[in-house]
Amino acid sequence: MFFGVKNYDQVLPVYIIDPKDWEIDAFGHTKTGSFRTRFLLESLQDLRSRIKHLGGDLLILQGATEKLIPELVKTYEAGGVYTSKGVAYDEWHREQRIRENLDGQLHCFHQETLFHPEDVPFDPDRAPDVFNQFRKQCEAHALIRKPFPIP
């Protein structure tokens, strides 16, 4: 949202609850369980409240993200879409499908991991397989970036 506000006079904060995030994965596990769902809903309620306090609102939709985003861009004649960079397999593929439908209007930023990929002391594609090795290398060498200011 920081970059959207920085680049445009008007922004439309949107969160899409995509049913695919509640499906069963390839290993037979529910992608999003009840505790995570509750946390998400409470977080969205808090975010909406904070945005309203700043004079805006949060549009919450349910459906296929890769379908709804292009529809919103067309409906609102949006100049760009600013979102989190997908880091997991499913999110990365969803991002690619959205990108194909937006003709260069999708701008993604790393914000869903503790460390920015450029700040870890190894090639992110070759991260240690064992968490303790990852943790020790990052504790010794990586920095945690400051959050973006509230727009």
Averaged confidence pLDDT in the chain? 89
Q: 103 phi and psi, to 5 degrees?
A: 50, 55
Residue 53: half-sphere exposure toward Cβ, Cα within 13 Å? 8
Indicate whether 7 pLDDT > 80: no
Q: Which long-range contacts (CB under 8 A, 24 or more apart) does 100-108 make?
A: 101/66, 101/69, 101/70, 102/69, 102/70, 102/73, 105/73, 105/78, 105/79, 105/80, 105/81, 106/69, 106/80, 106/81, 107/3, 107/80, 107/81, 107/82, 107/83, 108/83, 108/84
How far is Cα of residue 137 from the mean position of the Cα atoms in its chain? 26
Q: Which residue has the tokens 């992608």?
A: 31
Q: What is the pLDDT of residue 19?
A: 96
Q: What is the pLDDT of residue 102?
A: 85
Judged by DSSP in three states, 108 sits in strand
pLDDT, tens digit (0-9, with 9 covering 90-100), for 72-129: 999 999 888 988 888 888 888 899 999 988 877 898 888 888 888 888 899 988 989 9
Sequence spans of domains, the chain: 2-112, 116-146
Q: What is the pLDDT of residue 8?
A: 73
Mean pLDDT value of segment 56-73: 95
Q: What percent of the chain has pLDDT over 70?
A: 97
Question: Which stretch of DSSP H or E encloses residue 106?
Answer: strand 106-109
Cross-strand partners of 24:
30
Indicate whether 52 pLDDT > 90: yes
Indicate whether 17 pLDDT > 80: yes
CATH code for 2-112?
3.40.50.620
Q: What is the pLDDT of residue 150?
A: 78
